[in-house]
Amino acid sequence: MSLVAIILTHDEAANVTACIESVRWADSILVFDSFSEDNTVQLAEAAGARVIQRAFDNYSAQRSAALQAVSDEWVYFVDADERSTPEQAAEIRARIADPACDGYWVPRHNYIFGRLTCHAGWYPDYQLRLLRRARARYDMTREVHELVILDGEAGYLKTPLVHYNYRDLAQFIRKQEVYTDFAAHDLFKQGVRIKPQNYVLQPLRHFLWRFVTLHGYRDGWHGFRLSVLMAWYEFQKYVRLRRAWRNRAG
């Protein structure tokens, strides 16, 4: 039951070595790099990881290409800003030694602005990352928040990945700008048209969902700020969708 840990990278010199160290328990480690301009590749090779480079087009395509680049029975996708733990390693080894499922959802502990964030949708934040390679593929119509299509049942791990999600507000904004562009493009490809109420109701619903339904209020000011920020980018998604339709018409 061989298992490869796959780490997707682009300019992750600050994270890649520590991430590799956290998954030393895997049978092999592949760093799947999208032509970093820093020394990510050199650090990964120095840490003993195999490195493959591929130009980035979108998240689903990148993960799909990485999946096809290995032959191990099991694949564990870990992002460069995530860390596995010995406890998680023991659970994963036990699961794949006698698998009841063909994939497993992995919970995450998200650290946002240096604080462990357990509400407003950031816990358990399950990600389908542990996959029996031959039974998994990605929905290529999704460019962001990629979707695994699993030919089999999926179970749930108990031990979380540690995710150092956003160091500060500047990094949060940089990432959300990218995610929002991809999300708007997804809606555009689906033919979704803007309605005037989308600009108000969708951000408001998103804020209430995170702050009230998902108990963001329990994190006080931190939860309020995150809920507002995510509502703002929900608004921006529709602004960019309108721009895409106008560009097409023009």
Q: Concatenated DSSP letters for 133-179?
A: GGGEEE-TT-SSS--EEESS-EEE-SSPEEEEEESSHHHHHHHHHHH
Cα(246)–Cα(148) distance, integer angstroms? 32
Which residue in this structure is represented by tokens 């904004």?
173
* pLDDT for 212: 98
Contact by Cβ (8 Å): 107, 88: no
Where do you find CATH 3.90.550.10 in the chain?
3-165
* pLDDT for 141: 84
* pLDDT for 146: 86
Say what the pTM is.
Answer: 0.88
- Contacts for 230 with CB less than 8 Å, ≥ 6 apart: 120, 121, 206, 207, 210
Nearest in space to 3 (alpha carbons), one of 22, 19, 27 = 27
- Check if CATH label 3.90.550.10 holds for domain 3-165: yes
Say which amino acid occupies 73: E
* pLDDT for 145: 77
Cα(163)–Cα(61) distance, integer angstroms? 22
Cα(191)–Cα(165) distance, integer angstroms? 32
Quick one: residue 114, left, alpha or beta (phi over 0 = left, psi -120 to 50 = alpha)?
A: left
Give the H or E element holding residue 76: strand 74-79
The residues that bridge with 164 in the sheet, in sequence order, are 111
* pLDDT for 192: 94
Cα(56)–Cα(10) distance, integer angstroms? 9
Residue numbers in the chain where pLDDT is lower than 50? none
